[in-house]
Amino acid sequence: MNYKTQMEAAKKEIITKEMKVVAEKESIDIEKLRELMACGKVVIPANINHTSLSPEGIGEGLRTKINVNLGVSGDCIDYENEFDKVKLSLEFGAEAIMDLSNFGKTNTFRKQLIDMSPAMIGTVPMYDAIGYLEKDLLEITAKDFLKVVEAHAAQGVDFMTIHAGINKRAVEAFKKTKRITNIVSRGGSLLFAWMEMTGNENPFYEYYDEVLDILYKYDVTISLGDALRPGSINDSTDAGQISELVELGALTKRAWEKNVQVLVEGPGHMAINEIAANMVLQKRLCHGAPFYVLGPLVTDIAPGYDHITSAIGGAIAASNGADFLCYVTPAEHLRLPNLSDVKEGIIASKIAAHAADIAKGIPGARDIDNKMSDARRRIDWEEMFSYAIDSKKAREYFESTPPAEKHSCSMCGKMCAMRTTNKILNGEKVEFCSDK
């Protein structure tokens, strides 16, 4: 094998087994896929040590993928519950799972997750640094941070969020902006604190080439984190966000030069009228690299319903060029999500991704909608349930108030429009009172 990463193989015109799987899943010409990968517009995050992986492609011309965040915190240390979330995520077809555990020794959980998951696995090494190194923030050295990156890569993590763009230049732009919500990225805030306390440059920026060497060794895709993403609609598209995005564009090219695959992360909170322009701006400044968005949440006043505010923003973002959606649950801003929250977040994100794929004209995206519509016309309930994103919930709703007339539902009964039209087109009479 004369390549280390999927990008290197693509540049050398080598077709990998992962490319073959993705081309079949996406019904895309494999040579076109290879070309998109060679120029960085598509990635296949596939760590050489993640042997249970079912590869997925992220980027231009492919289906919009979704990511599920999970992991323990200091207030909720229940690994069994987190594995239940993993199983649920896989059941509903999430293509990626990020382990954001930030308490204790997380390597055992992460290893088990990588061993059993066909979905891509992502992490944020910055979250794990304090627990892994057993040092307080001020005691951690720049080289220490790289040790955590190496540990995650060696375990088999497919993509890592690395907040390399929040360098001293970006921090100065942030400070001048006078935001309402300042820095809302957990990893970004920790790096900002470390930089301010030590007076040093961001270690992931200062030693970026060494970070890339580690990622290249294991074929880990770098997900360039947006430490200065807006945490409120007031702060969106400000100098802090854009200055960091400019840095991420330069870092993208440097990663490609070392044959490391790149995702670029994006906002955040953002009013609807700014989303499309932000997608165009990101693609332009970051040279067409796949865009990974958290939301964006289109209003700040819906705690408990932020899976909905996120799905609205996510659908608009993806239909305008975003390639990868990070789910948001109803628990966002409130608590660690439980199993029910995770399900609601996944469903909302899947709806957003699918709606965007229809809008983008992804080949075959409409097929299942057309099948559902045909089953509705024929009033075939079992077939309708089989096409539903959440077939169990659809069935439970239908059966909770069963109709007297089986070829209808309890909403319209015999006055069902489908039933009426079908009877007339079949040459039958429409009668409502004959059974009285």
Mean pLDDT by 10 residues, the chain (436 residues): 94 98 98 98 98 98 97 73 94 96 77 95 91 88 96 97 97 94 96 97 98 98 97 97 97 98 97 98 98 97 98 98 98 95 98 98 97 96 96 95 82 89 93 70
Q: Are the C-beta atoms of residues 152 and 110 closer than 8 Å to each other?
A: yes
Q: For residue 333, how far is the Cα from the chain centroid?
A: 18
DSSP state of 301: S
- Pairwise CA distance, residues 436 & 432, whole Å: 9
Is 187 annotated as a binding-site member? yes
Is 227 annotated as a binding-site member? yes
- Pairwise CA distance, residues 205 & 92, whole Å: 37
**Which two tokens mark 170?**
């970006």
Domain ranges of the chain: 6-360, 367-425
Is 265 annotated as a binding-site member? yes
Per-residue b or e along 281-302, where b marks 16 or more CB atoms closer than 10 Å to that residue's CB: bbbebbbbbbbbbbbbbbbbeb
Per-residue b or e along 151-181, where b marks 16 or more CB atoms closer than 10 Å to that residue's CB: bbbebbbbbbbbbbbbbeebbebbeebebee
Is 388 annotated as a binding-site member? no
DSSP state string for 155-206: HT-SEEEE--S--HHHHHHHHHH--SS----HHHHHHHHHHHHH-PPPHHHH
Is 152 annotated as a binding-site member? no
- Residue entry with tokens 């659908």: 315
Is 407 annotated as a binding-site member? no
If residue 262 lies in a helix (H) or strand (E), which one and from where to where? Answer: strand 262-266
Q: Are the C-beta atoms of residues 100 and 92 closer than 8 Å to each other?
A: no
- Pairwise CA distance, residues 97 & 105, whole Å: 19
**What's the sign of the alpha-carbon dihedral 298, 301, 305, 307?**
positive
DSSP-derived 3-state class of residue 223:
strand
Is 228 annotated as a binding-site member? yes
Is 395 annotated as a binding-site member? no
Note if the bond before 296 is cis, omega within 30 degrees.
yes
- Residue entry with tokens 């992460």: 110
Check residue 75 and give its pLDDT.
Answer: 63
Nearest to 381 by CA among 390, 391, 389: 391
**What's the sign of the alpha-carbon dihedral 44, 47, 48, 49?**
negative
Check residue 74 and give its pLDDT.
Answer: 58
**What's the sign of the alpha-carbon dihedral 311, 66, 86, 398?**
positive
Check residue 105 and give its pLDDT.
Answer: 65
Backbone angles phi, psi at 361, to 5 degrees: 75, 30
**What's the sign of the alpha-carbon dihedral 244, 247, 252, 255?**
negative
**Which two tokens mark 425?**
């087109």
Classify residue 417 as exposed, middle or buried by CB count within 10 Å of its CB (0-12, 13-18, 19+): exposed
Classify domain 6-360 by CATH number. Answer: 3.20.20.540
Check residue 128 and give its pLDDT.
Answer: 85
Is 326 annotated as a binding-site member? no
pTM of the predicted model as reported, rounded to 2 decimal places? 0.95
Is 39 annotated as a binding-site member? no
Maximal C-alpha separation, the chain: 86
- Report in angstroms the alpha-carbon separations of 144 from 202, 216, 365: 13, 19, 45
- Report in angstroms the alpha-carbon separations of 80 from 56, 83, 100: 27, 5, 15
List all residues 6 or more positions away from 238 whose beta carbon is below 8 Å from its beta carbon. 177, 179, 230
Q: Are the C-beta atoms of residues 223 and 263 closer than 8 Å to each other?
A: yes
Is 185 annotated as a binding-site member? yes
Check residue 397 and give its pLDDT.
Answer: 94
Is 98 annotated as a binding-site member? yes
Nearest to 256 by CA among 15, 23, 42: 42
**Which two tokens mark 303?**
């705690």
Check residue 251 and give its pLDDT.
Answer: 98
